[in-house]
A and B are shown apart, each in its own frame.
Chain A
Amino acid sequence: MASRLVVEDVHAGYGAVRVLHGVSVEANEGETVVLLGTNGNGKSTLIKSIMGMVAPARGAIFLELDGKRIDLVGRSTEDIVNLGIALVPEGRRLFPKLTVEENLLLGAYRRAARRDIKRNLDSCLEMFPILQERKRQLAGSMSGGEQQMLAVARALMSAPRLLLVDEPSVGLAPILVSRVISKIQELKDRYQLTVLMAEQNFNQATKIADRGYIIVHGRIEFEGASTQALSEHELVKRFYLGV
């Protein structure tokens, strides 16, 4: 099933504060697209707009499924999850007082995912052996890296075709960031996912990205057709590489 996520000229914000000023982004089937930007430039707002948690004032967000256009603006988050889009939220947002297993089961809340819940749970636990060990432990009592793994695994429980990842590196030690990133790559290959990842850790993100965008003050300042193009761009040099 060919699918494509398109964000077209989206303006969005919170009350009087405008955060996004005409952002256009695309993620094609099977791609890993990275959205680069430092704090406060609108990455999370864009992700939230896609998930229906922030309503854009203007612009279109749609999913193309086999040539059919499905608009996401105006839909509830629940509907959007039902269409096969899953989110690994910023700061993980686990259910700290529920067990690892309960967290995973909640990832499969959408109706279509409930049917295959047993199989999905098994394959999640196989992909993340650490979660198998900690199945009965409270999610809040795990380390940051384990929690991030759980957040990724939980998103996969809904058997999505499109995975949105919002800053997986926040609050993690560099070695763990690298582990989480390579896990995302591994999952993408295994499940043929399309991944849209917001990240500020340039070096890690470009390890797995096919291409990407640089977002500055709510505008896409640069669209790199390859990671090569991204790393050579002067904005990246200025913001991330310190040269």
Chain B
Amino acid sequence: MKKGLPLLIAVGVLLAALVATRLVGNRYLYFAGYVIFQYVVLATAWNILGGYTGYVNFGTAGFFALGAYTATVLILAFKAPLPVQIVAGGLVSAVLGLGIGYLTLRLRGVFFSIATLALALVLQTFVMNWEYVGGAKGVSIIRPAAFPPFASYVEFLFFVMAALAVVSAMAAWWIENSWVGRGLAAIRDNEEAAECMGVPTLRLKLLATVVSGCFMGVAGAPFPYYVTLVEPVSAFSLDYAVNSLAMPMIGGTTTWIGPIVGAILLSTAQQVATVTISSELNLLIVGIVLVAFVLLAPQGIVGLVQRLAGRRRA
């Protein structure tokens, strides 16, 4: 039962997404839904390293944009199909994760965070000066034609992102409930003690950076077809780094469901604010909510619910 449940939920979400494309006519909702699912992937990916392992990554935008630009290059050079772009984006970002992990994970805590921040800046500068992908002015991408059962290509992208969200959540769930997750929790709590117990700390941390980076790249790969104009400022936007850190913090970092709850709540709030007030408010909302949570519910929504449930039982 407990093992079958996540699979059931996964299939349910996918079916719901597919049914939604039949029922919903308003095309804006697909754009909004895409963004929400994209943040589910990013927040989940961030949480594998930041939440489970305790290594804060400020460079989400770098991994995300690397996925996006890998896809861009594949489109420009080979007109590669979307699945190829996603796999390639994931692989390239995973390799970046391995590299940055290998170079910096021997350092602990804040040094790692600074390195990831620098990484995003270096990559952005590089892309800005890379003519093939349009440099700073960016490059236009033409979406392929829609195909049944989808009425538009955006509907298809929405469905693909829903599927990626499901896959990333399942990966996080598996990690959490395996020896890998147990080892990561040990590293988060007391890395030295973990080492004493024979937990292969460096290997596990590398695995976490690779998986985390991979999913960030995967989230970025469909980006060119989504925006149709890929340029560095939006691909490397600060929003990605801030949101993918804030969402798990708000939802709760120790379980797979936390980042999902945070991503859905926060990105829905942002979408609503964008439509009703102004898109400039997005980061302000994140900031205020994050401060509120750090002060009032440091364990996030999941922690809050657990605490309330525990109190009732006691």
Contacts and interface: CB of A to CB of B under 8 A. Distances in A.
B145 interface: no
Interface residues of A, number: 25
B196 A76 contact: no
A193 interface: no
A51 B185 contact: no
A95 B190 contact: yes
Interface in B179-229: 179, 182-183, 185-186, 189-190, 192-200
B54 to A, nearest CB: 10
Contacts of B194: 95, 106
A97 interface: yes
A98 interface: yes
A106 B196 contact: no
Contact of A82 (B193, B196, B198): B198
Contacts of A114: 179
Interface in A80-120: 80-82, 87, 89, 93-98, 102, 105-107, 109-110, 114
A189 B125 CA distance: 65
Contacts of B190: 93-96
B193 A77 contact: no
Q: How large is the interface on B (under 10, 10 to 19, 20 to 34, 35 or more residues)?
A: 10 to 19
Contacts of B197: 81, 87, 106-107, 109, 154, 158
B189 A77 contact: no
B186 A106 contact: yes
Contact of B185 (A76, A82, A89, A95): A95
A53 interface: yes
Interface string B262-303: 000000000000000000000000000000000000000000
Nearest to B188: A97
A95 B43 CA distance: 26
A95 to B, nearest CB: 4
Contacts of B200: 76, 78
A53 B196 contact: yes
A106 to B, nearest CB: 5
Which of B182, B183, B196, B200 has the largest number of chain A CB atoms within 10 A? B196
A98 B193 contact: no
A66 B195 CA distance: 28
A98 B185 CA distance: 8
A78 B199 CA distance: 6
Interface string B27-46: 00000000000000000000
Given A78-B200, A93-B190, A114-B179, A53 B195 contact: yes
21 contacts: A51-B196, A53-B196, A77-B198, A78-B198, A81-B197, A81-B198, A82-B198, A87-B196, A87-B197, A89-B192, A89-B193, A89-B196, A93-B190, A95-B185, A95-B193, A96-B190, A98-B185, A98-B189, A106-B199, A109-B199, A114-B179
Closest 5 pairs (CB-CB, A-B): A81-B198, A93-B193, A95-B189, A78-B198, A78-B200
Interface of A: 51, 53, 76-78, 80-82, 87, 89, 93-98, 102, 105-107, 109-110, 114, 154, 158
Given A94-B190, A102-B182, A106-B182, 15 more contacts: A53-B196, A76-B200, A77-B195, A77-B196, A78-B199, A89-B196, A93-B196, A94-B193, A95-B189, A95-B193, A95-B194, A98-B189, A105-B182, A106-B194, A106-B199
